[in-house]
Amino acid sequence: MIRFRNVFKAYPKGSLALKDLTFHIRKGEFAFLTGHSGAGKSTVLKLIFAEELATSGSVQVSGYHLASMSTRDIPKLRRRLGIVFQDFRLLEDRTAEENIAFTLEVTGARSSVIEPKVTRVLAQVGLAAKALAYPRELSGGEQQRVAIARALVNDPFVILADEPTGNLDERATRGVFQLLRDINANGTAVLMATHDLDLVRGTPFRTLELQDGGLVYDSAVDRPAAETES
């Protein structure tokens, strides 16, 4: 579903951000992406949602070969992904509801389709009561829930989360993490970059650890037979 093969990434006038990265995330899987600051976690996610292009090697996301993909197909790909960031990236002048609806409006959906979907995802993230609140009226945890609701509303096959709990306190972190687990339990894959090792420890999920752009540990490496095409 998401497949990296010998991926290298060099930023212009930067050193190598990714070195010979090969891994495969299966459909419906929950995986952590860990590593020190600057290890390349965000870069991996950016390659997946086509914000950056690999310098060499191949990145394949749900049938799209990102190297040969036309820029016109990028929006199509992104509509099938849910992307969540540490800094939420909500539009400040729109309510929670409008922020989520915006994602669907962008695809040209009718309001009759948009409304029930927005209501559903807001309920799913436990914010039905805050539909009309503006981001500044919400706590960090709540804002991140809105961002997750926005990521969910297109029924993505994977949620890509870059340090989604990085700005949150302990309690909000647990809440957001639980939400991502629930989403995963419903069949959506989750790839979450984090350096919160406490969070990673004690969960049954796969962990990919990066170090200086190289994959140094993959908890799934013991069972490579389970890696099948999706």
Q: Let me know if 69 is exposed, middle or buried by CB neighbors in 10 A (0-12, 13-18, 19+).
A: middle
Minimum CB–partner distance for residue 105 and ligand ATP (Å): 29
Minimum CB–partner distance for residue 121 and ligand ATP (Å): 27
Q: Let me know if 77 is exposed, middle or buried by CB neighbors in 10 A (0-12, 13-18, 19+).
A: middle
Does residue 76 bind another protein (CB under 8 A)? Answer: yes
Closest CA to 130 of 93, 97, 101: 97
Q: Of 53 and 216, which CB lies nearer to another protein in the complex structure? A: 53
Q: Which of residues 140-199 bind another protein (CB under 8 A)?
A: 150, 154
Q: Of 34 and 95, which CB lies nearer to Mg ion in the complex structure? A: 34
Minimum CB–partner distance for residue 91 and another protein (Å): 6
Instruction: Tell me the number of residues near another protein by CB under 8 A.
Output: 26
194: which residues sit within 8 A by CB, 6+ positions away?
A: 32, 33, 34, 163, 164, 165, 166, 200
Residue 165: which of ligand ATP, another protein, Mg ion, none does it interact with, CB under 5 to 8 A by kind?
Answer: none
Minimum CB–partner distance for residue 186 and another protein (Å): 20
| Residues at the interface with Mg ion (CB under 5 A) | 42
